């Protein structure tokens, strides 16, 4: 898996702080930005995050380039609706030698791993055969597996990212999208640490909402994400 932060709103924390400050100010945006020092920015962001006042965070976006994830993972990713996606197409890009993701539970069992690889090779042969028979690649792709590797560019605003991290950083999230979410969280914290200080699974700043389905490791989870 390869995750890169390829673009984001310039001075993200200052923009969010200024947007929030405008709601309570008689002066204009230019004057607010002029007097928004780093110290004031951090103070205002910390207050916003602690209050959970998220609407100003919608003015800031982050764009990620993601490679080496499965179609199974990308199908979960695109369920987060307030975002923009550009994904490598199986309709227009021939998968004559597709890469694939092997889940850990299969990889650690040698017999299962070998059977999995054999099946991927059989699917590849069948896909190639369909193309040789004149079947359109948009139809041949129907035989391709969820394990098929894909590439995607994703843009989300901060509020959407908070929602994404809340659900996908949880220990009960599927392993691959959880790994992806953690990598994305590391990247955004690297450029906007105060803005994303409370980002992570629900139990990071409150009680676990999973009830009887809780992982039971909230304390360890909090420790992990606070030191991320």
Q: Cβ(131)–Cβ(48) under 8 Å?
A: no
Per-position b or e across 37-66, b if 16+ CB within 10 A of its CB: eeeebbebbeebbeeeebebbebbbbbbeb
Q: What pLDDT is recorded for position 124?
A: 98
Using the Cα atoms of residue 12, residue 14, residue 18 and residue 20 in order, give the sign of their dihedral. Answer: positive
Per-residue pLDDT at 207: 86
| Torsions phi, psi for 5 (to 5 deg) | -90, 105
pTM, rounded to two decimals? 0.94
Domain ranges of the chain: 2-85+155-226, 93-147
Tell me which fold the domain 2-85+155-226 belongs to: Gyrase A; domain 2 (3.30.1360)
Q: Which of 94, 95, 105, 100 is nearest to 117 (CA)?
A: 100
pLDDT of 179: 98
> What pLDDT score does 21 carry?
86
Residue 31 C-alpha from the chain's centroid:
35
Write down the pLDDT at residue 22.
86
pLDDT at 134: 97
Q: What is the pLDDT along the chain (228 residues), one digit of tens a residue?
A: 999 999 999 999 999 999 988 877 778 888 888 888 999 899 989 988 888 889 999 999 999 999 999 999 999 999 999 999 999 999 999 999 999 999 999 999 999 999 999 999 999 999 999 999 999 999 999 999 999 999 999 999 999 999 999 999 999 999 999 999 999 999 999 999 999 999 999 998 888 888 888 998 898 999 999 888
Q: What residues are annotated to the active site?
A: 168
What is d(CA 94, CA 66) in angstroms, rounded to the nearest whole number? 19
């Amino acid at each position: 898996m390869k995750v890169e932060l390829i673009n984001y709103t310039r001075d993200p924390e200052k923009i969010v702080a200024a947007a929030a400050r405008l709601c309570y100010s008689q002066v204009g945006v230019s004057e607010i930005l002029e007097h928004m020092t780093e110290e004031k920015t951090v103070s205002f962001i910390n207050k916003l995050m602690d209050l959970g006042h998220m609407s100003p965070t919608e003015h800031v976006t982050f764009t990620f380039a993601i490679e080496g994830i499965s179609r199974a993972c990308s199908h979960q990713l695109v369920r987060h609706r307030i975002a923009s996606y550009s994904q490598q197409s199986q309709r227009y890009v021939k998968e004559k030698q597709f890469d694939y993701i092997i889940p850990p539970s299969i990889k650690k069992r040698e017999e299962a791993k070998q059977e999995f690889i054999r099946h991927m090779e059989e699917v590849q042969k069948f896909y190639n055969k369909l193309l040789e028979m004149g079947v359109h690649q948009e139809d041949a792709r129907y035989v391709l597996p969820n394990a098929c590797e894909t590439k995607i560019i994703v843009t989300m605003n901060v509020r959407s990212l908070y929602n994404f991290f809340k659900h996908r950083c949880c220990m009960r999230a599927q392993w691959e999208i959880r790994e992806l979410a953690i990598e994305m969280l590391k990247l955004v914290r690297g450029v906007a640490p105060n803005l994303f200080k409370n980002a992570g699974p629900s139990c990071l700043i409150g009680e676990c909402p999973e009830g009887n389905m809780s992982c039971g490791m909230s304390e360890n989870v909090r420790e992990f994400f606070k030191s991320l």
